Structure 1
Amino acid sequence: MLIWGTHIVRTGVLRVYGADLRRILSHSISNRFLAFAAGVLVTGLVQSSNATALIVSSFGAQGLIALAPALSIMLGADVGTALMARILTFDLHWLSPLLIFFGVIFFLSRKQTRAGQLGRVSIGLGLIILALQLIVGATTPMTEAAGVKVLFGSLTGDVMLDTLIGALFAMVSYSSLAAVLLTATLASSGVISLKVALCLVIGANLGSGMLAMLTSAGQNAAGRRVVFGSLLFKLIGCLIVLPFVDYAPMLVSWLSDAPAQAVVNFHVLYNLVRCVVCLAFTEPMARLCVRLLAEKPEADGVTRPRHLDESALEMPSLALANATRETLRMGDIIEQMLNGLLFVIKSNDVARARETRRLDDDVDHLYTAVKMYLTRVSRENLSEQDSRRWTDIISLTINLEHAGDIIERMVVEVEEKKISHKLSFSEAGLQEICDMHARLVTNLQLGLSVFLNTDLKSAQRLMAEKESFRDLERAYSYTHLNRLAGQSVQSIETSSLHLDIISDMKRLNSLFCSTAYPVLDDAGALRKSRMRDKPKDGKDMKDPKAPKENKASKLVALADVATAAAGAASIARDDNESSHDGPEPAGHPHPVR
């Protein structure tokens, strides 16, 4: 019950004030003392130094905080959890039923609101206080059992053994706070001696550092350095204090006659002195951690997720923000692929083509990571706005992954149809591709901006760009047809590839512009259908206010004919090539376009 109560309080506070707590930690890095105070405050609220360690290590992994201020925050977290242990050992038995009663009422009646989550925190606090009372009541008959006497008889004051047991218990209970409170209760009941209790407390502090190290094992070197430095500080403190632990009972007895109070007072004093002394050595410790935990390049060269913080899953709004940042990284890689595609088209660079195709593996990897990360976000705790944001992120990642596949296929076609045959586009055709590419990159950037800021004017501009890009693709198809009619050799040789490229660019543009739809839909700026209503006689109804058809619109209208004619020319050219190449092998018929 004690362990479960601390878990409920930690998760409840993080869901309600998670964004504020992370903001406090990220802004309190101007000096070590302010960072230390921020660590004390945040850990006092969440009642878990391990939760603070997860947040700070994620900041370090993302490069949002330097290592020395992060270590200062971790030292403050150790003091914060010690102070909470001191508060919870006061006689608060009268408060437990009130906290549980009102917490249950608020949590069940307003589960999806902030008040409901605060009710959850109240339930956790009530369970912690109730658990301490039950432990005190249960220890008396426990000490009379022969098996229990044998079990605790092994804790005879062996300093190293008792310390390791304390560390193990802190790791098993996932909370040094729970380990210290239980140790204080056992000491007050006479189950263990005061010296053994102090060794267990020292071990519990060491175990919390080891636990944080295990939970951050999946992060990069920058994130692991934070918890590794904190563990080294705890290990150094442990090695300094243990040789003098025989004299510690006299000191804590002077502070308090009650064993439970003496244990908790020692816990506070030990962490306060250790952390204040270590605060002066955060810079040297940071340099040592950088030297011991060097950043290693990925063996397979695949880009890894950078912003998908596991500790933020308990805070849905922050988890969505992390997924958004990772999605923007996907957009940046797509832009690199587009630039690589144009470079390959211009220069016939095979090495650059290979690198551009490899970038699609990065897009696929990030897409899978974001998708799996979002599936772990609790949908029950999402507000209506966050739920729409969740859907928008999933939709954009799907579109970006599809865009990466299209660009990869375009690069392959350029290699097979242009580079391998040493062909080149006509000067006018290459200029058309460059123009469409420039507008495509601009629309990608605008689409990512709309996704991030949800600005209505930018969304309207993006939709206008989509219509304009579609008209441009049709117009360029028509001008390409004119070059074919003029018997341009370069246009004839690259006709199929040219039309495929501009058609694929239009598809890419549609994917990039899709971010405008949710914004326009929320603003009520979308029509249900693009079809024009018909009168009863079945004839199309023309809008009297519609502008008259001009030369440009006629040019666009002929684009569909151009596409069909160019396709016919491509078939004829392929048939001509097959007739010169001789009969095809059996089982490999000539493809039909």
Structure 2
Amino acid sequence: MQGTTLLINLAGAVALLLWGTHMISGGVLRGFGTALRNWLGRHLGNRWLALLAGLGVTGLLQSATATSMMAASFTASGALGLAPALAVMLGANIGTTLVVQLLSFDTSLLAPLALLAGLVLFRLRDEPRPQSVGQCLIGLGLMLLALGMLGQSLERIEGSAVFAAVVRGLQGDPLIALLLATLLTWACHSSVAVVLLVASLTGTDLVALPTALALVLGANLGGALPALGVARTPVARRLPLGNLLVRLLGCLLVLPLLLPLAKLAAPFGAAAVVYFHTAFNLVLALLVIGFTGPLAALLVRLLPDEPEPDDPGMPQYLDEAGLEVANIGLANATREALRLADMALLMLRRTTGLIERPDSAAVSEIRSQDQSLDQLSAAIRAYLADIGQDGMSDGDADRAQEILLFAINIEHVGDLVANSLLPLVMRKAGRGRAFSAFELEQVLPLHAAVDESLHLAISAFMREDLAAAQRLLARKALLRRLESNASREHFRRLREDRTTWVEAGDLFQRMLRDYRRIHYHVTALAYPMLERNGLHEGQRRPSAQSRTDEARQGAEGA
């Protein structure tokens, strides 16, 4: 039972180490993720600068895996080129070695200080960024405590006959040691934890230095697997595959040289494991940095772009890597929401075009587009629900709500076009009565106004443009005036011409109402941004109940 207890303590120490790493990564991304993403998008044109950026970001996140997922998401979305992204990963690999070196020192006093400072900062400051810094300090304290527990467990496990037998089985077989460390690192999602574990084992003389160096190679190789495992598209797999190939090449080159390298590193004792980890990644980065361009070209040939999906309702940018990093996931959802708006805009234009040139084949295509729009909207909503499970900053939460409301209102626009406006247009065409010149003169300006408002809504949403949102809201008066004038003029003509077909007049009035209802949902896209800035109609913020009533009125066409 003593051996089982020791293994449980060892596993708990590793779990606490991983959780501390996760807290630091989540705190940095929650408090500074958007600014970090914007900076990376603007400053990574140079490969050396990209390498330094990868090193710095990994130092902040305490995890090359998090950096890899972030860079892979940038690459998949087109925000970052593949060649500089490969340089970022070279820097991230070096960054993990610095984290290992920092945590390898005696930090027993630093752990309680970090926990205390983090708790005070987290509890006393009710602001996102101070709370994020507090979370990072708590995570650092937990990591340091985990390292202390790890050392104590290893001191007690040294005399275990079972563990000694397992370790002895690795001696003299560096390939098996490499594969074992690869699997362990993949399971832990942290090369930092595995390298620190190997260093501790070496310090207690449980593992010979050549075997320890092979385990370090395996930790480097296994650290590239988690990001590759979560990639779901060929474009998203390019960067993690490139990182894996680079590390695999380094392992193949160094594996035959382990014995002479162990002799050179022997005077450093257990610290040789940490120094070897740093030297391996540093030399590998210097060797590969000049070949990121050809490597990127090779990866593109190995993993070509997928053909455009036949079903436009299938999402193209909602990759799972963005779920771990809130601001990246929100950027992915924004791109899909813009696709949603393009689909609704095309449906509206084609439906209005049927007024002048009826086409029965176009009707089924518009209805099919509405089904795709509903499918894509559901995918966006589900994706937003999964982003940032560990919490988001207030700004990211506001943006997520804006994207959600944008998708819902655009879906309502598509439903109104396909299920109400389109049947009215086709019903009149089915009666064999073309739209009169008067009706065209009234309907087409309404369509043009709705079309322009939708473009303005897309611009305001994409650029988070407050001025555009205010102009969009002001256009409600224009639509009301156009609809009112058309309705009044139509009734005047009915009174003058008693032979006018009553049902045709009813269809025309219902079409006017549908354009107004569509425009209501378009202008509703301005509300979240205006409310976030303390503005609304009449320079006031409505209550939740008033917004609910207003939404019900818009849905009913009131």
| TM-score, normalised via structure 2 length | 0.85
| Alignment partners' CA distance in 2, 1:450 and 1:4 | 39
User: For 2:394 and 2:244, how far apart are their aligned partners in 1?
Assistant: 41
Matched residue, 1:432: 442
* Maintained 8 Å contact 1:440/1:509: yes
1:327 to 337, 362, 371: 337
What SS is found at the alignment partner of 1:296? coil
Residues 1:257 and 2:268 are matched in the alignment = yes
Aligned counterpart, 2:260 = 247
Q: Which amino acid aligns with 2:346?
A: Q
Task: Note if 1:178 corresponds to 2:193.
Answer: yes
Offset of residue 331 of structure 1 = 2.2
State the match for 2:243 in structure 1.
Answer: 230
Q: Which is greater in Rg?
A: 1
Match in the other structure for 1:370: 380
Gaps of 5+ in 2: 1-15, 543-558
Instruction: Pick which of 100-109 and 502-511 moved more.
Output: 100-109
CA 306–168 in structure 1, closer or farther in 2 if over 3 Å, else same: same
C-alpha distance in 2, partners of 1:299/1:390?
26
Matched, 1:523 2:535: yes
Relative to structure 1, the CA distance from residue 456 to residue 22 in structure 2 (aligned partners, 3 Å threshold; closer, same or farther) is: closer
Aligned partner of 2:203 in structure 1 is 188
The one-letter amino acid of 1:473's match is: E
Q: Is the 8 A contact 1:429 1:491 kept in 2?
A: no
Partner secondary structure for residue 92 of structure 1: coil
Q: How does 1:455-534 map to 2 (within 5 A)?
A: 458-484=468-494, 494-518=504-528, 522-523=534-535, 525=538
Contact in 2 for aligned 1:37/1:73 (Cα 8 Å): yes
Distance 1:112 1:473, change over 3 A: same
- Mapped partners of 1:462, 1:37: distance in 2: 43
Q: Deviations over 1:535-577 (max 9, x none)?
A: xxxxxxxxxxxxxxxxxxxxxxxxxxxxxxxxxxxxxxxxxxx
After superposition, the Cα gap between the structure-2 partners of 1:76 and 1:381, relative to the gap in structure 1 and judged at 3 Å, is same
The amino acid that maps onto 1:109 is L
- Is the contact made by 1:2 and 1:127 (CA closer than 8 Å) also made in structure 2? yes
Among 415, 429, 437, which residue is 1:405 paired with? 415
Instruction: Tell me how large the CA RMSD over aligned residues is.
Output: 2.9
Q: How many residues align?
A: 524
- Deviation for aligned residue 1:491: 7.0
Q: CA deviation at 1:299?
A: 5.2
- Of 1, 13, 16, 2:31 maps to 16
Are the aligned partners of 1:221 and 1:295 in contact in 2 as well (CA < 8 Å)?
Answer: yes
Q: 1:188 to 1:488 in 2, by over 3 A?
A: farther
Q: Are 1:426 and 1:491, in contact at CA under 8 Å, matched by a contact in 2?
A: no
Q: Residue type of the partner of 1:236?
A: L
Give the conservation status (yes or no) of the 8 Å contact 1:62–1:306: no
Residue 52 of structure 1 corresponds to 67
Pair 380,248 (structure 1): closer, same or farther in 2 beyond 3 Å: closer
* SS of structure 1 residue aligned to 2:224: helix
SS at match of 1:90: coil
Match of 1:165 in 2: 180
2:104 aligned to which of 70, 86, 89? 89
Residue of structure 1 equivalent to 2:298: 288
Q: Which amino acid aligns with 1:8?
A: M
CA distance 1:418–1:171, shift in 2 (3 Å): same
Give the TM-score normalised by structure 1. Answer: 0.80
- One-letter code aligned to 2:122: F
State the AA in 2 paired with 1:24.
W
Cα 1:459–1:479 shift into 2, 3 Å: same
Q: Say if 1:60 and 1:66, in contact at 8 Å, map to a contact too.
A: yes
Corresponding residue for 1:348? 358
Relative to structure 1, the CA distance from residue 291 to residue 318 in structure 2 (aligned partners, 3 Å threshold; closer, same or farther) is closer
The letter for the 1-side match of 2:215 is: L
CA distance in 2 between counterparts of 1:460 and 1:138 reads 63
Q: Secondary structure of the residue that 1:523 maps to in structure 2?
A: coil
Q: Structure 1 residues 76 and 519 mapped into 2: Cα distance closer, same or farther (>3 Å)?
A: closer
**Which SS does the other structure have where 2:84 is aligned?**
helix
- Which residue of structure 1 aligns with residue 57 of structure 2? 42
| 2:313–2:374 contact (8 Å) kept in structure 1 | no
Superposed displacement of residue 403, structure 1 = 0.8
Q: Pick from 302, 306, 310: which aligns with 2:312? A: 302
| Matching residue's letter, 1:250 | K
After superposition, the Cα gap between the structure-2 partners of 1:460 and 1:165, relative to the gap in structure 1 and judged at 3 Å, is closer
C-alpha distance in structure 2 between counterparts of 1:322 and 1:468, whole Å: 34
Cα gap change, 1:491 to 1:238, in 2 (>3 Å) = farther
Can you list the C-alpha shifts for 1:501-536, whole angstroms capped at 9, x where unaligned? Answer: 22211100111112344556523625799xxxxxxx
Residue aligned with 2:107, SS: coil
For 1:169 and 1:111, locate their aligned partners in 2 and report how far apart those are by CA, in whole Å: 39
Task: Measure the CA separation in 2 of the matches of 1:159 and 1:230.
Answer: 22
Contact 1:6 1:178 in 2 (8 A): no
Output the CA distance in 1 between the equivalents of 2:188 and 2:248.
20
CA contact (8 A) 1:100 1:126 kept: yes
Q: Contact 1:425–1:491 at 8 Å: present in 2 too? A: no
CA contact (8 A) 1:302 1:361 kept: no
Shift of 1:42: 0.9
SS in 1 for 2:165: helix
Identity, % of aligned positions: 37
Paired AA for residue 443 in structure 1: S
Alpha-carbon deviation of 1:165? 0.7
Quote how far apart the aligned CAs of 1:347 are.
Answer: 2.4
The whole-number CA distance in structure 2 between the counterparts of 1:13 and 1:385 is 14
Deviations 1:306-345 (A, max 9, x none): 5556555566566555544443332232222222222233
Which residue of the partner structure matches residue 66 of structure 1? Answer: 81
Distance 1:35-1:334 versus aligned 2 partners, 3 A rule = same
CA distance in 2: counterparts of 1:204 and 1:143, whole angstroms: 22
- 3-state secondary structure, aligned to 1:154: helix
Partner of 2:5: none
Question: Within 1, Cα distance between the matches of 2:360 and 2:524?
Answer: 32
Structure 2 counterpart SS, 1:222: helix
Is 1:339–2:349 an aligned residue pair?
Answer: yes
Q: Which secondary structure state, in structure 2, belongs to the residue aligned with residue 407 of structure 1?
A: helix
Query: What is the correspondence of 1:135-174 to structure 2 with a 5 Å cutoff?
Result: 135-174=150-189
Task: Name the SS of the counterpart of 1:398 in structure 2.
Answer: helix
**CA drift at 1:201:** 1.0
Deviation at 1:30, TM superposition (A): 2.0
- 5 Å matches for 1:561-576? none
CA contact (8 A) 1:480 1:491 kept: no
Unaligned residue ranges in structure 1 (runs of 5+): 530-593
Larger helix percent: 2
